[in-house]
Amino acid sequence: MNYITKLFLSGLVVTMGLFAIGCPDRTSIRDIEANPSKYQNKEVVVAGTVRDSYGVNIPGTKVRGGAYKIDDGTGSIWIVTENAVPTKGTQIGVKGMIGSGVNWNGKNYGLGLYEKDRRRNSR
């Protein structure tokens, strides 16, 4: 192999390693439901499809937020957000803190996740 090829391959390996380090590990909802105390008050990343959503969003004001349920094929979990809720059928990834007794607007959703960040699948 010549010098240019070795340099290119080395750069490619380093770049792929950096991408792998920057991607958080995704947790299955089944694992969270099976052992909620392991994840209590810890930050996790889950991904799935929005199955149900309830929210408030008044344009021109800062009033927004709600709760939505996502399903990853292994189970479903309620997500509480201070942002606008996604519509049903949206595929998303959510990072947040697991909590039991998650409440929003006077309704208790049991085991849930307080959203910190959300990424929508842009397929």
CATH number, domain at 88? Answer: 2.40.50.140
Residue 3 lies in a domain: no
| pLDDT of 26 above 90 | no
Residue 17 lies in a domain: no
pTM of the model: 0.71
Q: What is the pLDDT of residues 39-86, one digit of tens each?
A: 888 899 999 999 998 888 778 887 778 889 999 999 999 998 988 889
Residue 54 lies in a domain: yes
Per the structure, how many domains does the chain have?
A: 1
What percent of the chain has a predicted confidence (pLDDT) above 90?
Answer: 33
Cα distance between residue 40 and residue 114, in whole Å: 11
Cα distance between residue 47 and residue 113, in whole Å: 12
Q: Domain range holding 53?
A: 25-120
